[in-house]
Amino acid sequence: MSIRKNDWTKEDLVRNGITVEWRDGQPVVKQVYQMGKRNRISKWNVERPIYLAKCNHKYSTDRFYPMVSLKIYGQYKTIILSNLVWMWEVGEIGDYDIDHIDGDPMNNSLDNLQKITHKENLEKRKGEKNQWKFIKDMMKS
């Protein structure tokens, strides 16, 4: 199994105890953890925290995306929440980007996501340099 994030499928997520649930139209990511002690195995389902991470981009350096850290095949990996939602609901991503139709990276509902090529994604972003101003304002308050 490849470790590239875009090659993961829903089956890989399920195999690693990851589930995506919906609360108020937005995704909630949970992961089952196991711990063995002597002859007992304890399992618990933990809601994974979603945090904002600054991502570098060709047309702007102040883009924040919601991310989640998950344990996949024994290694912790950080993945963009929109990619995780797409893999869970639709299937693998391949060599495509997952784009937010309304330009709001906080809106990760499935009807707001689309799969486009990287070139199309960059062309779409050229004229939208200031679209993330509301996120910076939100982070300040």
pLDDT digits (tens, 9 = 90+) for 51-102: 787 766 655 556 788 999 888 888 888 888 999 999 999 888 888 888 888 8
Residue 36's pLDDT band, with cuts at 50, 70 and 90, is: low
| Cα 95 → chain centroid | 16
| Contact (Cβ atoms closer than 8 angstroms) between residue 85 and residue 110 | yes
Give the pLDDT band (50/70/90) at residue 2.
Answer: very low
- Write down the pLDDT at residue 93: 85
Domain ranges, ordered by start, for the chain: 5-140
pTM recorded for the entire structure: 0.76
Query: 91 or 138: which carries more pLDDT confidence?
Result: 91
The CA distance from 96 to 104, in Å, is 19
